[in-house]
Amino acid sequence: MRLSTKGRYAVMAMVDLANTSQGSPVALADIAERQEISLSYLEQLFAKLRKGGLVKSVRGPGGGYLLAFPSDVTRISDIILAVDEPIHTTRCAAGSPAGCRTNRSRCLTHDLWEELGNQIHLYLSSVTIADVVHRRVLGTSGLVLRSPAKASAVAAE
């Protein structure tokens, strides 16, 4: 799977914007500093986000960027697509009937990886910026996993 820094940084910056704006424009320099992202790179990303209609820019003193839509409406997949960051899980070109092997056939696991890509897109389409800001994204990354002995003992009860 390929999701470059472009997609990850755009999501980080949009979540930061939603978390700090409180209805007032936020300067990209502030986001860049908080998220440790190059300001020039962030400017390129926000140009794409603005073109994609996800942010609005405010000029002048006190200017910066605002979300174009409420954070509970903007999906993470919208952000990734706005910065031209499609998620590819196969080596084949999306939608192409030809495979990526030298004889133009598809590998035996093509459908597995393509469906994984579909599931990732569905998941990112189900999560909004507000879900991330309010920590409503479920996962096991913050949980302590049980040892196999404890898990089997619990299952036996």
73 with 100, same domain: the answer is no
Q: Are residues 120 and 137 in the same domain?
A: no
Torsion of CA 33, 35, 39, 41, to 10 degrees: 170
Statement to judge: residues 15 and 64 lie in one domain: yes
Please tell me whether residues 116 and 49 are part of one structural domain: no
Domain co-membership, 136 together with 99: no
Q: For the chain, first and last CA: distance in Å?
A: 40
**For the chain, how big is the Rg over CA atoms in Å?**
20
CA distance 95 to 107: 15
- Per run of 10 residues, the mean pLDDT along the chain (length 157 residues) is 81 97 93 96 97 95 94 95 77 67 77 84 94 84 54 52
The pLDDT tens digits of the residues spanning 25-69 come to 999 999 999 999 999 999 999 999 999 999 999 998 889 999 999
What CATH number is given to the structural domain containing 76? Answer: 1.10.10.10
Tell me the whole-structure pTM to 2 decimals.
0.78
The number of folded domains in the chain is 2
Residues 26 and 53 in one domain: yes
Are 82 and 142 within one domain? Answer: yes
- Residue 101, domain extent: 91-126
Same domain, 29 and 81: yes
> Do residue 81 and residue 116 come from a single domain?
no
